[in-house]
Amino acid sequence: MRNIKGVTSRCVRVPVMRLIAVFITVTMVISCASMFQKFQTGTVANVGVFADQTIAMLSEADFGFSDDQAIYLRDFWDAEYSLEKSFMQNRNQAGNFFRDIVLYSLNLVLIVETKPSSQDQIKAYADYLGNFDDKLHTKLGLKPDHYDKMIEEIRSSENLLEALQAAQPIINASSRYMNQVLDDLQKSLEELVIDLEKRIDFRYRDVIHFQKVLEEEKYHILGAMEKLYWANTGDMEAYKSLINSQALVKKSLIPEGEPTEDDFVILGKYLYARLDGLDRIVQEIEPDWELYRASHKELDEAHIRALDKISQARLITLVWIRAHQKMASGVSTPAEWFDIKSLPKQLIEQGASSVF
Spatial CA neighbour of 323 closest among 14, 89, 47, 122: 47
Distance, in Å, from the CA atom of 219 to the CA atom of 225, rounded to the nearest integer, reads 10
133-161 residue pLDDT tens: 767 777 788 787 888 898 999 999 988 88
Does residue 181 contact residue 95 with C-beta atoms inside 8 Å? no
Spatial CA neighbour of 13 closest among 70, 53, 64, 89: 64
Does residue 174 contact residue 140 with C-beta atoms inside 8 Å? yes
Angle at 181 between CA 180 and CA 185, to 5 degrees: 115
Residue 2 has pLDDT above 50, yes or no: no
Mean predicted lDDT score pLDDT of the chain = 78
pLDDT of residue 303: 93
pLDDT of residue 55: 74
Distance, in Å, from the CA atom of 243 to the CA atom of 43, rounded to the nearest integer, reads 91
- DSSP lists the bridge partners of residue 62 as 13
pLDDT of residue 348: 46
- Residues, the chain, total? 356
Distance, in Å, from the CA atom of 180 to the CA atom of 128, rounded to the nearest integer, reads 25
pLDDT of residue 41: 38
Torsion, Cα of 194, 200, 205, 210 (10° steps): -110
pLDDT of residue 295: 94
DSSP for 196-240? Answer: HHHHHHHHTHHHHHHHHHHHHHHHHHHHHHHHHHHHHTT-HHHHH
To the nearest whole percent, how much of the chain has pLDDT over 90? 28
Mean local confidence (pLDDT), 262-289: 90
CA distances for 120 relative to 34, 160, 239, angstroms: 15, 10, 99
Higher local confidence (pLDDT), 356 or 241: 241
pLDDT of residue 186: 95
Distance, in Å, from the CA atom of 158 to the CA atom of 117, rounded to the nearest integer, reads 11
Residue 39 has pLDDT above 50, yes or no: no
Residues 6+ apart with CB under 8 A from 270: 248, 250, 253
Mean local confidence (pLDDT), 207-217: 90
Q: What share of the chain is helix, strand, coil (3-state, %, to 5)?
A: 75, 0, 25
44-78 residue pLDDT tens: 436 777 777 777 767 655 665 655 557 888 889 88
Distance, in Å, from the CA atom of 115 to the CA atom of 313, rounded to the nearest integer, reads 33
Angle between helix axes 82-114 and 160-203 (nearest 10 degrees) is 160
Distance, in Å, from the CA atom of 325 to the CA atom of 260, rounded to the nearest integer, reads 90
Mean local confidence (pLDDT), 275-304: 91
User: Binning pLDDT at 50, 70 and 90, where does residue 190 land?
Assistant: very high
pLDDT of residue 281: 86
Does residue 64 contact residue 309 with C-beta atoms inside 8 Å? yes
Distance, in Å, from the CA atom of 290 to the CA atom of 285, rounded to the nearest integer, reads 9
pLDDT of residue 342: 45
- Domain range annotation of the chain: 4-204+323-350, 206-290
Mean local confidence (pLDDT), 244-269: 88
Residue 248 has pLDDT above 90, yes or no: no
Does residue 281 contact residue 142 with C-beta atoms inside 8 Å? no
Mean local confidence (pLDDT), 230-246: 89
302-311 residue pLDDT tens: 999 889 889 8
Residue 340 has pLDDT above 70, yes or no: no
Spatial CA neighbour of 166 closest among 152, 176, 184: 152
Higher local confidence (pLDDT), 67 or 209: 209
Higher local confidence (pLDDT), 310 or 116: 310
User: Binning pLDDT at 50, 70 and 90, where does residue 34 land?
Assistant: very low
Mean local confidence (pLDDT), 153-177: 90
